Chains A and B, each alone.
Chain A
Amino acid sequence: MLSVAWWTVFTIAGIWAQRFVPGVDFLAPGLLLCIQLERKTLFFWLLIVWSLIQEGLGGLPFGYSILWYSSIVALYRCGAMFFDVQSLMFAILCGAGLGILHPLLIGMMAVLADMQWTADRYFLEGVLQFLIFPLEWAFLKYIYPERLKHEFSA
């Protein structure tokens, strides 16, 4: 129950952070942490709720956040073959991957939806995502309560 409360507070804090830094996903580092903690049930619910939040906020047809969050899972799976996926280095690589992916994904989805877009803004947001992702992940890992790591582990 405490775990649900913690993630709810994190979600609200993430939404507020997104309000001040447009175009950056502040919830994504939480998802990586959740995968690293191997909390499958929690991951599933967070994925659904956060996808709905990001899709509700976004201006593209439904689908961006599915690919966006799936890419974190894919990066984790691929990264597990070569790196220590619990390390800060992997979080930096994951941030870089998402930073590159952001303008590409927006561009692809905008083309599919027959919308006009300018790349400059999204490249800048990609850079911000790359910078913010590992820092936020490290902060989350630091503040995540030890006792919650063992609460209803799935």
Chain B
Amino acid sequence: MRILAIALPPSETQQEILAEACLRFSPLVSLGAQAVFVEIGRCHLLYSEDSIRARTQVLLSRLGIAGRIAIADDLATAVSLARTQKKHRDQIPVECLPTYLSPYETTDLLDEMIASLKRLGIGELGAFLALPRRSIAARFGKIGLFCRENCEFPERVPLRPFQAKSRIEESERIDESYALIELEPLLFVLKKILDRVSLRLRGTGKLALRMKLSLSLTPHSHVTEPRPVFDFVFPFPQGSTNSLIPLFRDRLDSLFQRHPLESPIQEIRIEVLETVPSQGAQKNFFHRKEEELESYRGIVARLTDRLGYSRVFHAETVESYIPERGWKKTLSPPVPRPTPLPERPTRILKTPIPIHPIDEYFQTKHRRWKVIEMQGPERIRGEWWMNESEERDYYRIITDGGEDLWIYENRETGATYLQGVYD
């Protein structure tokens, strides 16, 4: 075995991409602890070791990765030489011993042993190997012994092959004779594809946040767009066909009405572009709640698709005494919380209307109310830390017309405003 090890800095996140890129050199690539290993023993027919080293260096530069390279007969020695840039195995510092325990995981099991070795003046692998094996076992236990064994016979540690992760993608070819160009038959086929996608999502414990639908149309001469692509972004993650189909239907229906397909579909492909882990709970077939939740999410997804995100929301209370700041938009149904506030109006005006008190009346330009009953004041101060110095005295008034209104007086300016209505 000849191993080329690339030691990566601790902050490096492109380890898997690098591993995929190294597949061009050898089918045997492995991921280690902050390292990538490539078995190059059989590459000598194509490249020399120097050539592989140089090509790897170029690859690292193209990917912008600050890695260090070394080649040795085993994983641990290769990566230790790469990390420390030493020339010979005997010179490897004892701090690299955990790599000999396992090149695939970091471990602190040897920390005490390493500290003791350093205090004893044993700083390198060569000096460590010179200690009698029995004395290692007696002082550092079986973990020390295993480490020692692996140092003597490091080639015993096998290479764990790297498998690139696959994306969820399903497609279906359509028979030409079928001449699929209308929405309904398309949805029929889509349902089958979505069923498979849904199964794969469920199987891997995921939900989709984004999907791409690609259609390959028959390339007739008049066709201007032979490969239409449709992006679906879901406000809530989706996983079941029942919730996905209505979304696809709504979108495609409105699109096809404006732009019908130019020719029959030859292939339909669905790719899941973005996923999130699902809650992992087993589907409870006896409980409707999960189905209700899926239905709710489906409806919200359809409404947002149709009306736009800014116009579909719940109102959730916010802990603020300032009435106009007492709520915020949210997509999820809010959890009811107790509040120390007294009863608030059902409707709060976006912009308070100035009103003028005259005796037992209040009036605006166009209206006048006679006050029959008044409760208050409830005094609310501004958020002084945001430079709001005003104080407001709120009153609830019942008018002769039976209206139940919420007004306030600005204590600084004396101005009075109508701000809310109780239903």
Tell me whether A and B are bound partners: no
Which residues of B approach A to under 8 Å, CB–CB?
none
Which residues of A approach B to under 8 Å, CB–CB?
none
